[in-house]
Chain A
Amino acid sequence: SQKIEQNSEALNIQEGKTATLTCNYTNYSPAYLQWYRQDPGRGPVFLLLIRENEKEKRKERLKVTFDTTLKQSLFHITASQPADSATYLCAFDMRFGAGTRLTVKP
C-alpha cells in the first residue's frame, strides 16, 4: 500500500542552525509533494509545494528538495528561530505523514 513516512518524531536544534526534516514515500509516484506547518491546537498551514520535475524550491528561509529516485523529500529551515518550533507535515494527495515536531532552542 502507499505509504508516506517522516523519519523523526522529534528534532531538537539550537537557534541559528539549519533544521533538516525527511519525508519518504513508498509504492507511489506522486506528481508533487507538499509541506505544512501545524502548531498545537491549530489546523495545518501550507508552506511549499514541489513538483516531480523540480529538484528544489525555496521560500525565504525554507528549502525543499524532491528526489524521485530516492523517493524522498527534504525540508530545510536555515537560520532557525524559536518561532519555527512546530510540527511539520509532508503530504501527497490527501495522505499526510505523521509529522516531525521541531523544537528550536534559544
Chain B
Amino acid sequence: NAGVMQNPRHLVRRRGQEARLRCSPMKGHSHVYWYRQLPEEGLKFMVYLQKENIIDESGMPKERFSAEFPKEGPSILRIQQVVRGDSAAYFCASSLTSSEQYFGPGTRLTVT
C-alpha cells in the first residue's frame, strides 16, 4: 500500500510565477491536509479538505493561495505570483478519519 505521494519533490520558481504542488493521499483516505514548514520552525496548518470540499481553510493566506481536492485525481495546492517569502517545505497528509495523519515527503519550494 503506497504511502502519501507528493510531487514534485523540489520546485524552483521565479518571483511572480505560479507554483502547483500535488498530493496523492493513501488509498482509501478521503481527508487531506496541507502544511507549511519554514526551516527550524514547526508545521503550520494551511487547509483541510475532503473530496471536493474545503472543510477548514483558516490557515491559508487570503490571497494567492488556493487548494482543491477533486473527485478524481490528486489534491492541488496552488500559489499564484510567488514571492520569496513563499519559500518553504510544503507537506501534505492524509487520514482515513479525522485523527492520525500520514504525511508525504514534502515539496521544497524555492522562489528566486
A residues neighboring B (CB under 8 Å): 32, 34, 36, 42-46, 49, 89, 94-99
- Determine the chain B residues whose CB is within 8 A of the CB of A98 once the complex forms: 41-42
Interface of A is mostly: strand
Flag if A89 contacts B42 (CB, 8 Å).
yes
B residues neighboring A (CB under 8 Å): 4, 33, 35, 41-45, 48, 56, 59, 91, 93, 99-106
Q: Which of B4, B33, B104 meets A94, CB within 8 Å? A: B33
- Determine the chain B residues whose CB is within 8 A of the CB of A36 once the complex forms: 103
Residue of A at shortest CB range from B101?
Answer: A46
Residue of A at shortest CB range from B34?
Answer: A94
Q: Which of B41, B45, B93, B105 meets A95, CB within 8 Å? A: B45
Flag if B105 contacts A42 (CB, 8 Å).
yes
Residue of B at shortest CB range from A45?
Answer: B103
Given the contacts A32-B99, A49-B100, A94-B56, A43 and B105 also touching, CB distance less than 8 Å: yes
Given the contacts A94-B48, A94-B56, A94-B59, A44 and B43 also touching, CB distance less than 8 Å: yes
Complex CA gap A96/B44 in Å reads 7
Complex CA gap A80/B41 in Å reads 25
Given the contacts A42-B106, A43-B106, A34 and B43 also touching, CB distance less than 8 Å: no
Residue of A at shortest CB range from B91?
Answer: A43
Complex CA gap A43/B26 in Å reads 14
